[in-house]
């Protein structure tokens, strides 16, 4: 599906990843290169070296728009919803399909995120942080992705909201969505993840199942000073 | 009706017609502003170019202005595409000042080009709804002014619908708010912006034709218009469609009434003073956009 072949995102490092189905947690301290890696996959940043393959095709020259149409979903750090548009406008504008298919996608997304249905007409900037995060995820789902890239979705959320958020991600993965989740809430992320990757200074320090990563020495070492383990 | 009141009513009517012309220029300005977040200082010069296009087409095709309108708009839409390729695309990853200066430079180039081609003298374009005056009781309104008022109403409503109610408009507003995220969500930002330049130029073409009849066209006739449009957008609320129209009408009413009782020089001076005062009291304009909401 998605394969990273010696992708350099910070000087001196390279990452090899063959993304498996389910949830893959991308872990590491601030400055490890998590956001840079996700941006490279989305086409928002040119990698320093290496290649990224989607279904066997080298996507180096693909624009972000083309990557989105090919099934890569984007949920950026800080949500970056469109604040001046309503909740419904945020959801509908990214579906580059006909009215019927848009309706079908909307019903599906609101099925996952019923709280947004009550806020349809509200301006996005009036939503709480948790609701904005749900909107950012719903907006990404409206592009009908096969792979969803999420960058620190738990940042700034209360613990109870983080639990709800991660339960939603697990549900989406169980329904067939492949998720690459960059997180600093390590324990919570590994609780829902199938696999984990530990990144440090742009280098892959460890990879394996969530259980393996949880006990891996590299995790503890790389996250020293990161400040968030739970 | 007493004579003084009648004079005042006529000045208001004249002001509304003039305000509708300013509003049409401001609408094109707001369209590009909403699409790119950038200021297009050449919008007035595009109106001037539209006026010359109308003059040239009227020479070649002696038909009523109403029939020339779609031709002028189509030609100007093509020019808008070229304009976006020259003034916006090369600078889209640079700070907004680059794009702004490019539009100023292209506007000046257009003025000089038309000066060389057509000379500095005024030229009259075709009338949209014929010539003469329509009587509204004791008041008179020229057919040209009626055309401008109707065009302002129709094009303003159409633009409001386009930006507020269509998928194109939603994407345009989203692209202006956060182009990077919009791209990552599959929105063809560059294409949308090119289309918005085409629409703004087509709008400028329509305004150029409308104004070339009653007000004539000269190579520098866009300069005053863009200044008024800029002020209208600034006092109306930066990027607000409704604010731009209301701002344009207020400016023109102010100018018309003050000029009627004093002089046009006094009206211009008083206008700038009033705008400064207004922006001191309400720096965000009359209809400020909450957190980037536009149009």
ipTM of this complex:
0.89
Q: How confident is the model at residue B84 (pLDDT cuts 50, 70, 90)?
A: very high
Give CA–CA dist A204/A199, Å, rounded.
5
Give CA–CA dist A140/A83, Å, rounded.
16
- Residues facing A11 on adjacent strands: none
pLDDT at A228: 46
Segment (H or E) for A147 = strand A147-151
**A-B Cβ pairs (cutoff 8 Å, strict):** 74
Provide the CATH topology of domain A2-81+144-223.
Rossmann fold (3.40.50)
Pair A206, A175: CB distance under 8 Å = no
- The SS3 call for residue B79 is helix
Question: Are A85 and B174 inside 8 Å of each other by CB?
Answer: yes
Pair B229, B41: CB distance under 8 Å = no
> Of B178, B184, B290, which is closest to A82 when you measure between CB atoms?
B178
- The SS3 call for residue B181 is helix
- Residues facing A25 on adjacent strands: A181, A196
B114-132 tens-digit pLDDT: 999 999 999 998 887 777 8
Chain B residues with CB under 8 Å of A103 CB are none
DSSP string, A160-224: HHHHHHHHHHHHHHHTT-EEEEEES-HHHHHHH-SEEEEEETTEEEEEEEHHHHHT-HHHHHHHT
Domain spans, chain A? 2-81+144-223
DSSP one-letter code for A122: S
Segment (H or E) for A109 = helix A99-112
**Shortest CA distance from B186: residue in chain A:** A65
> Of A64, A85, A93, which is closest to B184 when you measure between CB atoms?
A64
Chain B nearest-CA distance from A210, in A, is 29
Tokens matching residue A35: 């956001």
Give CA–CA dist A141/A139, Å, rounded.
5
Q: What is the mean pLDDT of residues B266-278?
A: 88
Nearest residue to B211 via CA among B127, B268, B93, B142: B127
> Of A84, A90, A143, which is closest to B186 when you measure between CB atoms?
A143
**Shortest CA distance from B189: residue in chain A:** A65
Question: Are B184 and A82 inside 8 Å of each other by CB?
Answer: no
Question: Are B174 and A65 inside 8 Å of each other by CB?
Answer: no
Q: What's the pTM?
A: 0.81
- Residue B289, pLDDT > 80, answer no
B16-52 tens-digit pLDDT: 888 988 898 998 998 888 888 788 999 999 999 999 9
Question: Are A125 and B290 inside 8 Å of each other by CB?
Answer: yes
Identify the residue whose tokens are 């989607």. Answer: A54
B216-225 tens-digit pLDDT: 999 999 998 8
Residues from B contacting A (CB-CB < 8 Å) are 167, 170-171, 173-174, 177-178, 180-189, 289-294
Lowest mean pLDDT among A57-61, A74-78, B55-59, B230-234: B230-234
pLDDT at B99: 86
Q: Go through chain A and tell me how many residues it has.
A: 230
Tokens matching residue A67: 């990557």
Point out the residues of chain A with pLDDT beneath 70.
217-230
Chain B residues with CB under 8 Å of A43 CB are 184
If one counts the domains in chain B, the total is 1
Pair B207, B47: CB distance under 8 Å = yes
Interface test with B, best of A82, A97, A139 (most B CBs within 10 A): A82
Contacts of A97 (CB under 8 A, 6+ apart): A105, A144
- Measure the CA angle with vertex B192, ends B190 and B197; round to 5°: 95
pLDDT at B113: 96
pLDDT at B151: 85
Chain B residues with CB under 8 Å of A76 CB are 181, 184
Pair B193, B36: CB distance under 8 Å = yes
pLDDT at B192: 92
Chain A nearest-CA distance from B294, in A, is 7
DSSP string, B263-295: -HHHHHHHHHHHHHHHHHH-TT-SSPPGGG---
Chain B nearest-CA distance from A43, in A, is 8
> Of A65, A74, A84, which is closest to B293 when you measure between CB atoms?
A84
> Of B170, B185, B290, which is closest to A143 when you measure between CB atoms?
B185
DSSP one-letter code for B87: I
Question: Are B177 and A84 inside 8 Å of each other by CB?
Answer: yes
pLDDT at A217: 65
Task: State the alpha helices, DSSP H only, in chain B.
Answer: 3-36, 43-60, 65-83, 96-118, 143-165, 167-177, 179-184, 189-212, 221-236, 241-261, 264-281
The dihedral built from the CA positions of residue B229, B233, B235 and B241, taken in this order, carries a sign that is positive
Residues from A contacting B (CB-CB < 8 Å) are 42-44, 63-65, 67-69, 74, 76, 80, 82-85, 89-90, 92-94, 96, 123, 125, 139-140, 143
Give CA–CA dist A1/A11, Å, rounded.
26
B245 against B138, higher pLDDT: B245
Secondary-structure percent of chain A, ordered helix, strand, coil, rounded to 5: 40, 25, 35
């Amino acid at each position: 599906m998605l394969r990273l072949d010696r992708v350099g995102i910070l000087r001196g490092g390279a990452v090899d990843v063959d993304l498996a189905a389910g949830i893959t947690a991308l872990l590491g301290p601030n400055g490890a290169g998590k956001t840079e890696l996700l941006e490279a996959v989305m086409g928002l940043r040119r990698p320093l070296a290496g290649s990224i393959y989607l279904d066997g095709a080298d996507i180096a020259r693909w624009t972000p728009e083309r990557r989105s149409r090919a099934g890569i979903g984007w949920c950026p750090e800080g949500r970056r919803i469109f604040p001046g548009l309503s909740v419904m406008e945020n959801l509908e504008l990214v579906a580059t399909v006909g009215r019927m298919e848009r309706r079908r996608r909307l019903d599906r997304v609101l099925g996952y995120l019923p709280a947004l249905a009550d806020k349809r007409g509200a301006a996005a900037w009036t939503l709480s942080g948790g609701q904005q995060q749900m909107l950012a995820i719903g907006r990404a789902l409206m592009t009908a992705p096969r792979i969803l890239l999420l960058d620190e979705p738990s940042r700034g959320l209360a613990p109870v909201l983080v639990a709800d958020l991660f339960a939603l991600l697990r549900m989406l993965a169980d329904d067939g969505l492949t998720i690459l989740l960059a997180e600093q809430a390590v324990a919570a992320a590994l609780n829902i993840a199938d696999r984990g990757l530990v990144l440090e200074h742009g280098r892959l320090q460890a990879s394996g199942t969530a259980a393996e990563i949880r006990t891996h020495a590299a995790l503890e070492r790389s996250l020293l000073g990161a400040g968030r383990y739970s | 009706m007493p004579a003084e009141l009648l004079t005042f009513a006529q000045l208001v009517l004249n002001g509304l017609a003039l305000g509708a012309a300013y509003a049409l220029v401001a609408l094109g300005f707001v369209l590009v502003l909403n699409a790119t977040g950038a200021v297009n200082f050449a919008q007035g010069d595009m109106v001037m170019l539209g006026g010359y296009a109308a003059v040239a087409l009227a020479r070649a095709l002696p038909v009523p202005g109403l029939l020339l309108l779609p031709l002028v708009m189509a030609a100007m839409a093509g020019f808008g595409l070229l304009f976006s390729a020259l003034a916006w695309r090369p600078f889209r990853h640079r700070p907004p000042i680059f794009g702004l200066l490019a539009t100023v430079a292209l506007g000046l180039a257009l003025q000089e080009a038309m000066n060389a081609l057509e000379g500095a003298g005024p030229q009259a374009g075709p009338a949209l709804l014929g010539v003469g005056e329509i009587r509204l009781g004791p008041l008179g309104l020229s057919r040209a002014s009626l055309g401008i008022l109707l065009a302002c109403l129709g094009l303003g409503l159409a633009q409001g619908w386009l930006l507020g109610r269509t998928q194109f408009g939603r994407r345009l507003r989203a692209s202006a708010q956060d182009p990077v995220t919009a791209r990552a969500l599959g929105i063809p930002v560059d294409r949308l912006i090119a289309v918005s330049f085409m629409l703004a130029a087509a709008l400028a073409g329509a305004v150029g034709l409308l104004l070339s009849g009653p007000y004539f066209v000269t190579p520098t006739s866009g300069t005053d218009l863009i200044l008024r449009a800029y002020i209208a957008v600034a006092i109306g609320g930066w990027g607000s469609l409704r604010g731009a129209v209301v701002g344009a009408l207020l400016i023109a009413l102010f100018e018309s009434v003050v000029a009627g009782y004093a002089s046009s020089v006094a009206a211009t001076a008083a206008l700038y003073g009033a705008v400064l005062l207004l922006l001191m009291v309400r720096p965000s304009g009359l209809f400020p956009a909450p957190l980037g909401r536009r149009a």
